[in-house]
Chains A and B, each alone.
Chain A
Amino acid sequence: MGDRLEACFDHLRMEGRSGLFPFVTAGDPDLDFTRELLPLMTEAGADGFEIGVPFSDPLADGPTIQRSSMRSLAGGTRLSNVLEMVGEVRADIPDTPLVLMTYYNPIIAMGLAEFVRGASQVGADAVIVPDLPPEEASALVEIMNDYPLEPVFMLAPTSTQERIELVNDVGGGFIYYVGQMGVTGARDALDSDLGATLARINRVKNRPVLVGFGIKTPEQAAEVAGHADGVIVGSALIDVMEAQASRESKMRAACDYIASLREGLDRSKTVS
């Protein structure tokens, strides 16, 4: 596992805490905003970040992240600028894991080798490609093997035992468990099978499991965290920022929201 991710999960384990990994679309509304926001959210209690690269056809994403991607693209965000921004923000938060999340076609357009080299140079720790299952990932993973960059794969409620083992064997960094059927987006209720599926994964896993898709409230985050090593919160965070008009109020609302999730996660761990 990459040094920063490993250190982060070791640290969490030692303190008996759950990981909190917010997702933001890079460049929504612009890259300066994202660069400023990440260190603030670290102070508010985030342990690491997923940084989304906007794509014209985000087929794994619901309306919130679709809108966010379109705003970012309209502002002229490109994969190469996102990498630059990651390099700059890395200086401010040197120990925080940064995970790039991008659909495959922008990587193809940049060139696989150039992408991997670029991402690792700027200090990204892992890459998630939602439309690249392990069966199609050999070309990218082979290149990544030469760099300190981890390929993170996803599991879903529909994943068979065979696929759970496959992702556990070939993936790096952590396992991203898609906590519900369907696309990204905040939900009022969590999947009722969540605990059972995570138990199946926990029996075989040899790396941490983070749960994303659908988490909104501190209570939901705490419930999920009881079955996993941490949570990823994206759409709900973007919803919170969308509701605000000015840059300052967006950042403040984002940090307040992250702090409330942090509190919910920590409270549940102290109780248990």
Chain B
Amino acid sequence: MSELVSRGRFGRFGGRYVPETLMPALEELEVAYEEARDDPAYHEELAGYLREFVGRPTPLYLAERLSDDLGALRVYLKREDLCHTGAHKINNTLSQVLLARRLGKTRIIAETGAGQHGVATATAAALFGLDCDVYMGEEDIGRQSLNVFRMRLLGARVIPVTSGSKTLKDATNETLRDWTASVRTTHYIIGSVVGPHPFPEMIRDFQSVIGREAREQIIEAEGRLPDACVACVGGGSNSIGLFHPFVEDEDVELIGVEAGGRGLDTEEHGASLTAGRVGVLHGCETFLLYDDDGQIIPAHSVSAGLDYPGVGPEHSHLKDSGRARYVTVEDHDALKAFQKLSVLEGIIPAFESAHAISYLDRLAEETKEAGGMKTVVLCLSGRGDKDVHQAEGFLSEMLDDEEVR
């Protein structure tokens, strides 16, 4: 008889809360991943694609004008926005497509919020000629029409999701439903460090390339470790990718920035770690946004990529153990940071990454008050081209005012 052991725990979080139909596939995936992890041939193949196709290693760039403007901080940007397809998501999708091939799966499915993960999945599927279906909430399809077209251009089918709040959480439900019917031939590429074991651990490992490179690069540049690592947290894949290689370095502060949306005093935010409670959604036990009856509360953020009512279980553990701290930045401040980085550094960040940039204002204040100076590595998880259209609506007035002056 099998032992009754919950697998894939980060402290008390994580696990594998899925319908029975999926359990054997997750066991199979876990074994396949462990084999791949120990197989030099897999790593060699993956490293080749990351180098030649994705463009890794990405630079660690000292943002001098931003640092001068902030004062008290020396800010290095880990340029994941320079990855092929414009965000860190490709690190994961490429790694998983290689795994799907080892499993003999011929079809790929994925959920997407902003469309970045969908595009990265469609790209990796196209590279290997695999069928690809991407589920996307109707609400997000409206907000991110360009990414919808990009996925189609790459040969993927985009399936609109009309259930529930018609956003990322509902797209995830629908992809899981597809997978329970198609699991024998299909691999599900989850886009963040969420879901049932082994996804959070496996995707953490795939995204840790961010932190491994950054750690080497900062030591090369500064001759020492940074004082802090900062990254935005939706599901939490770019942040866990940056944080993980620094977890054992106890003097390095780890700071995750969640979507404050319209404010934590409203229900319209995405701050599951800061304002949520422990529950179970999409296969794992973690901090979530839900009401007194256990019904999930749809998240809100100006950034579709942070618009998720849950978070990766490893972040829940990092919060619970006190190893990382989590803060929030509201829509309005993220938009200001979006503009600020564009003007000061010539880099248009994704709305998601703009949340992390915005938090630097507060970190700089704190550091000044303490009379110190900090070196910071910030994960610039994606570029903002996808958000420019939406930003135009919000920011044109602000820009016009400044030109008049």
Contact = CB atoms under 8 A, between A and B. Distances in A.
B62 interface: no
Contacts of B177: 59-62, 182-183
Interface stretch (A89-97, A119-127, A161-169, A253-261): A161-169
A156 B19 contact: yes
Contacts of A181: 21, 180-184
Interface in B245-297: 278-283, 288, 290-296
A135 B7 contact: yes
B19 A60 contact: yes
A170 to B, nearest CB: 7
Interface of B: 1-2, 4-7, 15-25, 163-164, 169-170, 173, 176-177, 180-184, 278-283, 288, 290-296
A160 interface: yes
A153 B20 contact: yes
Nearest to B15: A136
Contact of B16 (A60, A70, A130, A133): A133
B23 A56 contact: no
A154 B20 contact: yes
Interface of A: 55-63, 66, 70, 73, 78-80, 103-110, 130-138, 153-160, 162-163, 165-167, 169-170, 178, 181-183
Contacts of B169: 57
Contacts of B176: 59
B17 A136 contact: yes
Given A79-B294, A105-B294, A110-B294, A159 B20 contact: yes
A136 B24 contact: no
A108 B278 contact: yes
Contact of A130 (B19, B184, B282): B19
Nearest to B24: A158
26 contacts: A57-B164, A57-B296, A59-B176, A59-B282, A66-B163, A78-B293, A103-B294, A105-B280, A106-B295, A108-B279, A109-B293, A131-B280, A135-B23, A136-B6, A136-B17, A153-B20, A156-B20, A156-B21, A158-B24, A158-B25, A158-B183, A159-B23, A162-B2, A166-B1, A181-B180, A182-B180
A109 B292 contact: yes
Contacts, number: 139
B24 A159 contact: yes
Given A57-B169, A108-B279, A156-B23, 18 more contacts: A56-B164, A57-B170, A59-B177, A78-B293, A105-B295, A105-B296, A109-B293, A110-B294, A130-B19, A131-B280, A154-B20, A158-B21, A158-B25, A163-B23, A166-B1, A181-B182, A181-B183, A182-B182
Nearest to B162: A63
Nearest to B19: A60
Contact of A59 (B25, B173, B183): B173
Contacts of B18: 131, 133
A167 B24 CA distance: 13
Nearest to B26: A133
B24 A105 contact: no
B280 A169 contact: no
A107 B23 CA distance: 21
A108 B24 CA distance: 25
Best-surrounded residue of A56, A131, A160 (most CB of chain B within 10 A) = A56
Contacts of B164: 56-57, 70
A183 B181 contact: yes
Contact of B5 (A107, A135, A163): A135
Nearest to B293: A78
Best-surrounded residue of A57, A135, A160, A178 (most CB of chain B within 10 A) = A57
A148 to B, nearest CB: 22
Contacts of B7: 135
A59 B295 contact: no
B360 to A, nearest CB: 35
A109 B279 contact: yes
Nearest to B180: A182
Contacts of A163: 2, 20, 23-24
